[in-house]
Amino acid sequence: MNFEASIIREQPDIPAKPPLLRFTVVDLSGLAVFHRSYVSEVMDELLFSGFSAAMIAFSRELGSELYSIQMEGVNYYFRTKEDFILVVGLYPRVRSSSAKRFLRLVYEIVNWDELDGYLNKAIYFQTENFVEKLEQIILDFQIKFKHLIK
């Protein structure tokens, strides 16, 4: 049994229609270094991560910071740090303040000092320690906001 499959089986409380639809960590080159989807829709994560990096670069070129966009009935929220972009896709009834809180919680579990010690920084987002903490934050979020989805 692979690690990802064991996580899914241990979390039966994620609703069939989850409020948190996708979470991705993208490096500024446009590579998805971590991705989880909680819906069955097919989305090209490479295309999405490249698009996210381009949108962040474009907003910076304009002298601002991209915080959110809405596409295909999903609200995407962004938070950047160093060479990485945290992107969460949420069901539209989830308020932006909840998205900010989610991104802050994820931001806080990243050990940015430890990340600097990695030659390939993207590997940090695959470590068991990071994945376990992130999956717990996601599970808590899914349970807390499941009432928004009918």
CATH numbers and ranges of domains, the chain = 12-145 (3.30.450.70)
Q: What is the pLDDT of residue 18?
A: 82
Q: What is the pLDDT of residue 56?
A: 94
Nearest one of 34, 35, 39, 5 to 19, comparing CA atoms: 39
CB 115 within 8 Å of CB 121: yes
Residue numbers in the chain where pLDDT is lower than 50: 1-12
Q: What is the pLDDT of residue 16?
A: 62
Q: What is the pLDDT of residue 76?
A: 95
pTM for the model stands at 0.84
Q: Cα separations (Å) of 65 from 78, 83, 87, 96, 103? A: 9, 14, 13, 16, 15
